[in-house]
């Protein structure tokens, strides 16, 4: 894709406005997971090495355009400095005199974190006047927050039209990986889509069957497809009202020569509880009081064979209730096999989505996958084929507007 990277930027002495995602988990006022802080380090390091002044823009939570002290970015300063290994200054606003004074005090290589951009209503409204206020403190703009790229906000989209715009290192990795997975993949391409509800992934399923060679459906949403095919799913979660929609997706897959994999067998139990007695059933032989809670061994074996016959894998959503053993077995076995193939260079394996990342972390194979996205909503919208405003703005070279 034709976006500019920092390799093309003149950095020495420049004020670099960098949109990062610091919407991190907090417990008792302290950062409990610094994954997103660490994700920003390569971009910050590259800018500092080039002699730029690094000015970080971020949001935290949903203050809805008002100053909410409990949603300040102030508590992030200390853990961020620890991650970066350098001092981090903090300005109590992202625009106006306080921000300007903090920026003017910077020297090349310094790092400054500005206060929550969502304290201003102009941020989420993508107000041009607010974007201009932000732009006044920068010479160039870097978007390193793919996870916020599906929002057309002032700091994620508006700024890219006002300053020379570049993709940060994390953004570049994300876009390159997704392009390898869906944009220009090595075929055959296999998709795995799991999770509980068909209703939340209609756009995703409808798009993927037009782009993939094979698609495996797992998790609770597979129950709806089994029901649509005439199987009794017992006491399982099932969106029965979407049966015709499921049949339409099956027809669409056939029309586009996408081979659809639905469960051949399932793991059922009467209770969804740790260590609950579980047994394997064929889809047509489920008792009224049984609930489908995982993919069966034959289903997982077929899926692993399909991975072995593919060149690219795109994965979103677990195959079962992976949080509760023994219903994590299907997801864990499939994840281990995908990781092995990726490790051996036989498969480009890209995964994303909150539950998917949690499952891969639980199995301990995140580092073996080609790329694992933590972007959540943006990752899903990309997979759905939707235009992400923050990405589109980086591809737009018109300056100014």
* Helix (H), strand (E) counts: the chain: 14, 17
CA distance 187 to 111: 43
What are the residue boundaries of the structural domains of the chain, listed by start?
Answer: 6-174, 185-383
CA distance 171 to 261: 32
| H/E stretch holding 19 | strand 15-19
Taking the alpha carbons of 177, 339, 43, 77 in that order, is the dihedral positive or negative?
Answer: positive
Class of the CATH domain delimited by 6-174: alpha beta
Task: Report yes or no: 167 and 5 within 8 Å, Cβ to Cβ.
Answer: yes
396 pLDDT exceeds 60? no
Residue 329: strand, helix, or coil: helix
Return the pLDDT at 1: 57
Return the pLDDT at 398: 41
Residue 230: strand, helix, or coil: coil
The predicted model gives 235-244 an average pLDDT of 96
CA distance 207 to 193: 12
Task: Report yes or no: 299 and 264 within 8 Å, Cβ to Cβ.
Answer: yes
Nearest to 117 by CA among 99, 138, 140, 103: 99
The predicted model gives 35-51 an average pLDDT of 96
The string of pLDDT tens digits covering residues 348-395 is: 999 998 788 889 999 999 999 999 987 878 888 888 888 899 999 998
Return the pLDDT at 101: 98
Return the pLDDT at 113: 98
280 pLDDT exceeds 70? yes
User: What is the overall mean pLDDT for the chain?
Assistant: 94
Beta strands in 163-202 (DSSP E): 165-167, 189-193
The string of pLDDT tens digits covering residues 250-268 is: 999 999 999 999 999 999 9
The string of pLDDT tens digits covering residues 72-129 is: 999 999 999 999 999 999 999 999 999 999 999 999 999 999 999 999 999 999 999 9
- Number of CB atoms found within 10 A of residue 142's CB: 36
CA 160 to chain centre: 21
CA distance 18 to 13: 15
Q: Which residue has the tokens 């399932």?
A: 266
Nearest to 96 by CA among 129, 74, 64, 65: 129
Q: Which residue has the tokens 């823009």?
A: 57
399 pLDDT exceeds 50? no
The DSSP symbol for 46 reads: H
The predicted model gives 53-78 an average pLDDT of 97
Beta bridge partners of 111: 54
Pick the CATH number of 185-383 from 2.60.40.1890, 3.40.50.800, 2.60.40.1930, 3.40.50.1260: 3.40.50.1260
Percent of residues, the chain, with pLDDT higher than 70: 98
Return the pLDDT at 65: 97
The predicted model gives 42-58 an average pLDDT of 98
φ, ψ (nearest 5 deg) of residue 55: -115, 110
CA distance 328 to 147: 27
Residue 247: strand, helix, or coil: helix
Beta strands in 218-265 (DSSP E): 259-261
CA distance 209 to 215: 7
Beta bridge partners of 31: 26
Return the pLDDT at 401: 37
The string of pLDDT tens digits covering residues 300-319 is: 999 999 999 999 999 999 99
CA 136 to chain centre: 31
The reply to whether 185-383 shares the fold of 6-174 is yes
Both structure tokens of 171 = 């953004």
Percent of residues, the chain, with pLDDT higher than 90: 83
The string of pLDDT tens digits covering residues 191-239 is: 999 988 889 898 899 999 999 999 999 999 999 999 999 999 999 999 9
- pTM (two decimals): 0.86
Angle between helix 354-363 and helix 329-343 axes, rounded to 10 deg: 80
Highest mean pLDDT among 36-40, 130-134, 180-184: 130-134
150 pLDDT exceeds 60? yes
Instruction: Give catalytic residue positions.
Output: 36, 197, 354, 377
Helices (DSSP H) in 237-366: which residue ranges?
243-255, 297-308, 329-343, 354-363
Nearest to 383 by CA among 111, 133, 167, 179: 179
Q: Which residues contact 314 (CB under 8 A, 6 or more apart)?
A: 181, 182, 189, 190, 191, 192, 208, 212, 350, 351, 383
Q: Which residues contact 328 (CB under 8 A, 6 or more apart)?
A: 294, 320, 321, 322, 359, 362
How does strand 266-269 pair with strand 291-295? antiparallel
CA distance 256 to 250: 10
CA distance 6 to 53: 14
């Amino acid at each position: 894709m034709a976006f500019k990277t920092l390799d093309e930027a003149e950095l020495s002495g420049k004020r670099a406005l960098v949109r990062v995602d610091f919407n991190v988990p907090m417990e008792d006022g302290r950062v409990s997971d610094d994954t997103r802080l660490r994700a920003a380090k390569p971009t910050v390091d590259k800018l500092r090495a080039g002699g730029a002044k690094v000015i970080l823009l971020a949001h935290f939570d949903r203050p809805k355009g008002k100053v909410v002290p409990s949603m300040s970015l102030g508590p992030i300063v200390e853990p961020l400095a620890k991650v970066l290994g350098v001092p981090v200054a903090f300005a109590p606003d992202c625009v106006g005199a306080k921000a300007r004074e903090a920026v003017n005090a910077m020297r090349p290589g310094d790092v400054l974190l500005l206060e929550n951009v969502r304290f201003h209503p102009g941020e989420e409204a993508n107000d041009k006047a607010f974007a201009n206020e932000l732009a006044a403190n920068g010479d160039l703009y870097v978007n390193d927050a793919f996870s916020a790229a599906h929002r057309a906000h002032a700091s994620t989209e508006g700024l890219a039209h006002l300053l020379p715009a570049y993709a940060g290192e994390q953004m570049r990795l994300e876009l390159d990986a997704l392009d390898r997975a869906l944009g220009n993949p090595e075929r055959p391409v296999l998709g795995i889509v799991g999770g509980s509800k068909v209703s939340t992934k209609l756009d995703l399923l409808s798009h993927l069957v037009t782009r993939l060679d094979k698609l495996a459906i797992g998790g609770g949403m597979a129950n709806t497809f089994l029901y649509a095919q005439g199987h009794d799913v017992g006491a399982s979660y099932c969106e029965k009202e979407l049966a015709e929609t499921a049949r339409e997706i099956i027809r669409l897959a056939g029309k586009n020569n996408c081979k659809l994999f639905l469960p051949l067998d399932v793991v059922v139990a009467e209770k969804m509880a740790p260590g609950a007695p579980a047994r394997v059933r064929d889809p047509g032989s489920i008792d009224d009081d049984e609930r489908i809670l995982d993919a069966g061994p034959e289903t997982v074996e077929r899926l692993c064979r399909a991975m072995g016959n593919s060149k690219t894998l795109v994965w979103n959503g677990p195959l079962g209730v992976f949080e509760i053993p023994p219903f994590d077995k299907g997801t864990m076995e499939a994840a281990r096999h995908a990781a092995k193939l990726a490790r051996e260079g036989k498969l480009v394996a890209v995964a994303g989505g909150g539950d998917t990342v949690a499952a891969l972390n639980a199995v301990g194979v995140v580092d073996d996958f080609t790329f694992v996205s933590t972007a959540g909503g943006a990752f899903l919208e990309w997979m759905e084929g939707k235009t992400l405003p923050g990405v589109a703005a980086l591809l737009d070279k018109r300056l100014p507007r």
